[in-house]
Homo-oligomer: A and B are copies of this chain.
Amino acid sequence: MTTNSLILDGAQVADTIKEQLKARIGRLAGQGITACLATVMVGDDPASDTYVRMKGNACRRIGIVSKRIQLAKETTTSELVEVIQQLNKDPLVHGILLQHPVPSHIDERAAFDTISIEKDVDGVTTMGFAQTAFGFGAFPSCTPAAIIAILDAYNISIEGRHAVVIGRSPILGKPVSLMLLNRNATVTICHSKTQQLDQIVKSADIVVAAVGRPKFVQGDWIKPGAVVMDAGYNKGNIGDVDYDACMRNASAITPVPAGVGPVTIATLLKHTVDAAERASMSNQ
């Protein structure tokens, strides 16, 4: 198969972000500060365990302390809330990540919303979402921020383009839609109840797939020249986009793996360093 699609190399974008972080981590070290991300995991889901370990390793490789808090799957909402409150108070912790999903008996939204906005480096709080939507203050969710970062790294213009987002979750579809809107895209938000999805996607200059279903977006849905951002990750390293088929029409496309994923992790690291710097400044 031949193609002229530009492969949007997330691994390279992530490396550039991490390279820039090193100097900042060095400056913090000069002030006696080590940026620290606390990851909280409840239960022993193997996929979540892998994610948490990946994030921890990424922290350590760059010089960020990763503090892992592992809680039993029987943990109650109020116990989890208390753990998070302790982390909020801990001056040595700059970012808090609660690994999604938590066991179903826990009120995940209440747990997320316990995270103080200054430490919400994963962008999961209700207030963080609203501040993102209004374009100020908080750390946006990492995957939406990663999608924007890749577009920016490749100088792909957003303003005035028609972006179609497939998915409407609180930490992906909704925030990425509002971030694209705030960058002056015209944004259409699609989901499981959308009719004639193929026709709507065909009108998009930028397609964001955030469905959670393998190879969901078909090649003939893509307008020639459109940009395809695959935020999906399904078992077996398969995205939400039929990559080979979409590539035939797309002007640019993110692969899976090595597309949005590594930039999401780099964004988490960046937010943690941002939080450490802000904390050091407010302590001066």
| A160 close to B (CB within 8 Å) | yes
Count A interface residues, CB 8 Å. 30
List, in ascending order, chain B residues with CB within 8 A of A13's CB.
Answer: none
Min CB gap A37→B, angstroms: 24
Known A133-B133, A168-B181, A186-B188: A193·B126 in contact at CB below 8 Å: no
Known A130-B133, A133-B133, A134-B129: A189·B191 in contact at CB below 8 Å: no
List, in ascending order, chain B residues with CB within 8 A of A256's CB.
Answer: none
Q: How far is the CA of A129 from the CA of B126 in the complex (A)?
A: 9
Min CB gap A267→B, angstroms: 21
Chain A, 194-221, CB within 8 A of any chain B CB: 194-195, 200, 203
Known A126-B131, A133-B130, A134-B129: A191·B186 in contact at CB below 8 Å: yes
Chain A, 81-138, CB within 8 A of any chain B CB: 109, 126-127, 129-131, 133-134, 136
List, in ascending order, chain B residues with CB within 8 A of A129's CB.
Answer: 130, 133-134
| A77 close to B (CB within 8 Å) | no
Say yes or no: A193 contacts B160, CB within 8 Å.
Answer: yes
List, in ascending order, chain B residues with CB within 8 A of A160's CB.
Answer: 193-195
List, in ascending order, chain B residues with CB within 8 A of A194's CB.
Answer: 160, 186
| A142 close to B (CB within 8 Å) | no
| A170 close to B (CB within 8 Å) | yes
| A190 close to B (CB within 8 Å) | yes
